[in-house]
């Protein structure tokens, strides 16, 4: 058992039991996710899935706190000047520079490249009116051994990609609640140290104009899952979705939205933003 799990058991905080949707192991064919062109509609998936009731430990109780390189996730304070996260132009003009400065300061990255963001809205009416996406309620990791480096070349000019890929680089999602509360459908994260290689199932991500690849996660009893209750407006959740380093640090982080059993009928529907970044670590000196 990882030391972090022992710490959490000694100081359990707000541990909950909740169902998480996992991909069943032993698929007959490579699974696919067909990305909906209409953001108000759910994506279509092939393959078999099963809901497993999982103990979600309170990550706030971890001592020392969880980190990107150990568990694969990290909670941080990041105040922002943003008020309207439905204004894409302002997100790119104001929020992107804030993220770049924040990640350089907190991770030691020498270069940070932001290539997109996604706003997710749980309320059906507001989602239809704003053309935003649904929260994802299936355990997954956003990139694979193959698609991480490929995505760099997809979004950068060749010379920039060569420079970026010449050093250790990682892909980190920065997730923030932008509504009244994220408590109805928060994010659950797996401790990367408890995931087996076979728990990552490569899956084609089929867009109208390109083909990507993600890992969907199978369940095992060895996995340990966490969540952060009561995330405030100045808090962000960092998720490691890829890392070229193979020295034992976290490389991927299984994660998913989940239906919080402690939510009440008055708990507001989730609204959130995730910013996808590539961070590079050039040698110093």
Could you tell me which residue, 37 or 251, shows the higher pLDDT? 251
Confidence of residue 8 (pLDDT cuts 50, 70, 90): very low
The answer to whether residue 257 scores a pLDDT higher than 80 is yes
The answer to whether residue 285 scores a pLDDT higher than 90 is no
**pLDDT, tens only, 58-117:** 999 999 999 999 999 999 999 999 999 999 999 999 999 999 999 999 999 999 999 999
Indicate the average pLDDT of the chain: 93
- The percent of residues above 90 in pLDDT, for the chain, comes to 82
What average pLDDT does range 13-22 have in this prediction? 94
Could you tell me which residue, 43 or 191, shows the higher pLDDT? 191
What average pLDDT does range 246-254 have in this prediction? 98
Weakest-pLDDT range from 34-43, 159-168, 231-240, 241-250 = 34-43
Give me the pLDDT at residue 10, please: 44
Per-domain boundaries in the chain: 3-281
What average pLDDT does range 110-134 have in this prediction? 90
The answer to whether residue 52 scores a pLDDT higher than 60 is yes
Give me the pLDDT at residue 40, please: 64
The answer to whether residue 283 scores a pLDDT higher than 70 is yes
pTM score of the predicted model:
0.93
**Contact residues for 258 (Cβ-Cβ < 8 A; gap 6+):** 18, 19, 20, 56, 137, 185, 186, 187, 188, 227
**pLDDT, tens only, 179-233:** 888 899 999 999 999 999 999 999 999 998 899 999 999 999 999 999 999 998 8
Confidence of residue 1 (pLDDT cuts 50, 70, 90): very low
Could you tell me which residue, 37 or 29, shows the higher pLDDT? 29
Nearest CA to 137 out of 67, 33, 224 is that of 33
Calculate Rg over the CA atoms of the chain: 18
Confidence of residue 123 (pLDDT cuts 50, 70, 90): confident
């Amino acid at each position: 058992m990882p030391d972090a799990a022992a710490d959490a058991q000694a100081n359990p905080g707000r541990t909950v039991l909740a169902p998480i949707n996992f991909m069943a192991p032993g698929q007959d064919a490579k699974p696919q996710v067909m990305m909906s062109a209409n953001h108000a509609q759910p994506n279509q998936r092939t393959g078999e899935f099963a809901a497993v009731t999982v103990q979600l430990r309170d990550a706030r109780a971890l001592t020392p706190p969880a980190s990107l390189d150990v568990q694969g996730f990290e909670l941080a304070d990041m105040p922002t000047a943003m008020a309207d996260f439905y204004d894409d132009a302002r997100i790119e003009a104001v929020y992107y520079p804030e993220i770049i400065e924040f990640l350089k300061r907190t991770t030691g990255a020498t270069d940070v490249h932001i290539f997109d963001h996604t706003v997710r809205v749980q309320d059906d009416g507001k989602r239809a009116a704003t053309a935003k996406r649904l929260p994802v309620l299936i355990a997954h990791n956003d990139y694979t051994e193959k698609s991480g480096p490929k995505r760099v070349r997809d979004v950068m000019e060749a010379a920039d990609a060569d420079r970026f890929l010449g050093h250790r680089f990682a892909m980190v999602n920065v997730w923030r609640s932008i509504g009244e509360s994220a408590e109805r459908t928060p994010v659950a994260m797996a401790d990367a140290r408890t995931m087996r290689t076979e728990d990552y199932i490569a899956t084609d991500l089929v867009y109208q104009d390109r083909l990507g690849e993600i890992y969907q996660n199978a369940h095992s009893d060895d996995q340990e899952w966490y969540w952060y209750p009561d995330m405030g407006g100045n808090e962000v959740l960092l998720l490691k979705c890829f890392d070229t380093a193979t020295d034992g640090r976290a490389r991927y982080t299984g994660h998913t939205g989940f239906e919080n059993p402690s939510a009440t009928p008055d708990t507001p529907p989730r609204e959130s933003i995730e910013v996808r970044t590539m961070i590079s670590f050039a040698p110093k000196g």
